[in-house]
Amino acid sequence: MEYFYASLFLAVQLAVLGLNILGLPANWIMLGLAWLWGLIHPSLPLGWGFYAPLIAMAVAGEALEFGAQYVGTKKYGGSSKGNMGSFIGAIVGAIFCAPFLLGFGALVGAVGGAYLGCYAFERMHGRPSPEAWHAAKGAMWGRVLGFVVKIGLGGAMLALIARSVWPAEAARQAVVLLGF
């Protein structure tokens, strides 16, 4: 039964990881679920050595998601006003487009919102259209890279959680079967 519950928990964690695509704080939810698992199973040695890397990866995911957008906008010649527009556009786009495409509209809305927000703010502050489009392209690609990095860090969190949650006896048997 222990294997069944561990498998079910890891399947839920994998499903939660997919919530990143919908613009939800999936990495934080995964961390919270891991904490609950530790409370339910007090015999597991899940201390700060387990939680600290998970917290660090969740924080890094959020920072890199927005940091990549910021750097992308700057690299493509965007101003600080264009960057502000890209952040506002990404948030507004994700919120307003979330009901579409079964929730996947949040991803499209965030990427498109970053692009349009940057373009609109650059144009409002006197930048010529070709320069504004170029800066907006940087905001869009930065946002995409930020999503990818955040989801990758969530996958790493899932791997750490799976290693700690899966019954130790099964892990030892797998190592023996594989010949390691």
Closest to 82 (Cα-Cα) out of 115, 109, 130, 128: 115
Among candidates 65, 66, 72, which has minimal Cα distance to 142?
Answer: 72
pLDDT of residue 65: 87
Predicted model pTM: 0.80
pLDDT tens figures, 133-158: 999 999 999 999 999 999 999 999 99
Question: How confident is the model over 64-75, as pLDDT tens digits?
Answer: 988 998 898 888
The H-assigned helical ranges of the chain are 2-17, 26-40, 48-75, 80-97, 105-124, 129-165, 168-178
Answer whether 87's CB lies under 8 Å from 69's CB.
yes
CA–CA distance, 75 with 71 (Å, rounded to integer)? 6
In the structure, what pLDDT confidence band is assigned to residue 38 with cuts at 50, 70 and 90?
A: confident
**Nearest alpha-carbon partner for 164 in 58, 9, 1, 4:** 9
The pLDDT of residue 168: 66
Tell me the average pLDDT across 95-114: 87
